Amino acid sequence: MKVAFLGTGLMGLPMAQRLLAADMQLIAYNRTPEKLAPLQAAGAEIVTHPRHAIRAAECVILMLTNAPAIYNVLLSDTAWQTLEGRTIIQMGTITPTESQEIRDAVVAGGGEYLEAPVLGSIPEAKAGKLSVMVGAQPEQYERHLKLLQNFGTEPLLIGPVGSAAALKLALNQLIASLTTSFALSLAFIQRQGVDVDVFMQILRDSPLYAPTFDKKLQRMLDGNYADPNFPTKHLLKDTELFISEAKSLSLDLSSIKGVRQILQTAVKMSFADDDYSSLFSVIKEWGEAIGE
C-alpha cells in the first residue's frame, strides 16, 4: 500500500517515521517544506502540493492542525478532484461535527473516510504506543487495522464517524482541567509553606493521583516549559473546540471556561509555543497577569 501523509509537525513526523520503519511506501507533504527533511532522508517521497500526494497514494493520513487546514489541503478544488477511490484517515483533533462534514465532502468526491484521533504525545508516537480511537464502520476498521497498529498496538473502534472525535475532545478536556487543578494546588501549598515532596507523597498514595501530575511537576517547579510535547496553543485550540461542540448539549461549562481563560493568558504571556504546563506560571502570577 502506498500511503500519503499530510502534516508532519510535532506528532505527524514520528508517526510518519513509524510507517517508513515498517517498510511502507510513503509520500509526504507539509505546508512548511523544511519539516520534511528527516522523512526525505529516510526514504520518503516528498511532494510540493497535496494533490500530488493524494493522486499517488491509495490511503491518505491527515495529521493537520485543524479543520480549516484540512479543507485547505484536502478539499481545495484541485485536491478534492483526486479523492476518488482513496481512503482518507483523519488523525488530528477536530470536532465531531467537523469530522462528519469532512466525511460527507470526501464521500461526495468518491472517496471513503474514517477518523482515528490519538491520545499520547511525542514519546508514545515514536514508540508506536499511542491510544488510537477509531470512528468508522466495522468493515472499514477491520480493513485498516493493520495500518493503524503502526501507531498503537490496540486501536479501538469507538463507533461511527464523530464518536472518536468526541472521545478525543473529552480526553483533552481532562488534560486541560487536570493540569490546571494540579497547578493550582501546587501553587497553593507552596504559598502555604507546605513541603512539595510531602504533598506529592500524600497525593501519589491517594485515589486523587494521576500520572500526568508527575510528568508536569518538574517543569512547573523549574519554570522550564521549552521543548514541548504538546504546546500551550494546541491545548487552547482543543479546549475551544470542546466548548464550541459542548454548547448545544445543555452542560455547565463554567469550569472549562475558566481553564480556557488561563490558557488564553498563557498564550498572551508568550507561552504559546511552550509546554502547556506553563499555565502554572499564569496561576502563580494571576494578579499581575490581569493587571490587579
CA 203 to chain centre: 28
- SS3 string, 93-128, reads CCCHHHHHHHHHHHHHCCCEEEECCEECCHHHHHHC
Residue 285's pLDDT is what?
87
Residue 7, pLDDT > 90, answer yes
Please name the residue ranges forming H helices in 210-253.
Answer: 211-222, 232-246
**Structure-model confidence comparison of residues 241 and 291, the more confident one:** 241
DSSP 268: I
**pLDDT given at position 286:** 72
pLDDT tier for residue 160 given thresholds of 50, 70 and 90: very high
Residue 173 has pLDDT above 50, yes or no: yes
pLDDT of residue 291: 47
How far apart (Å, rounded) are the C-alpha atoms in residues 276 and 264? 11
Q: Residue 63 contacts by C-beta under 8 Å, 6 or more apart in sequence?
A: 5, 6, 7, 8, 9, 11, 12, 15, 16, 91, 92
Q: What is the pLDDT averaged over residues 162-176?
A: 98
What pLDDT does residue 199 have? 98
pLDDT digits (tens, 9 = 90+) for 235-288: 999 999 999 999 999 999 999 999 999 999 999 999 999 999 999 999 998 755
* Residue 1 confidence class, pLDDT cut points 50, 70, 90: confident
Are 54 and 60 in contact by the 8 Å Cβ rule? The answer is yes
The predicted structure's pLDDT at residue 288: 52
Q: What is the pLDDT of residues 178-198, one digit of tens each?
A: 999 999 999 999 999 999 999
What are the pLDDT digits (tens) for 20-44?
999 999 999 998 889 999 999 999 9
pLDDT value of residue 143: 97
Give the pLDDT band (50/70/90) at residue 76. confident
Confidence of residue 78 (pLDDT cuts 50, 70, 90): confident
Question: What is the mean predicted confidence (pLDDT) over 200-229?
Answer: 97
pLDDT score, position 82: 87
Q: Which residue, 25, 28, 62, 33, is CA-closest to 46?
A: 28
**286 or 125: whose pLDDT is higher?**
125
- Pairing between strand 25-29 and 2-6? parallel
Q: What is the mean pLDDT of the chain?
A: 95
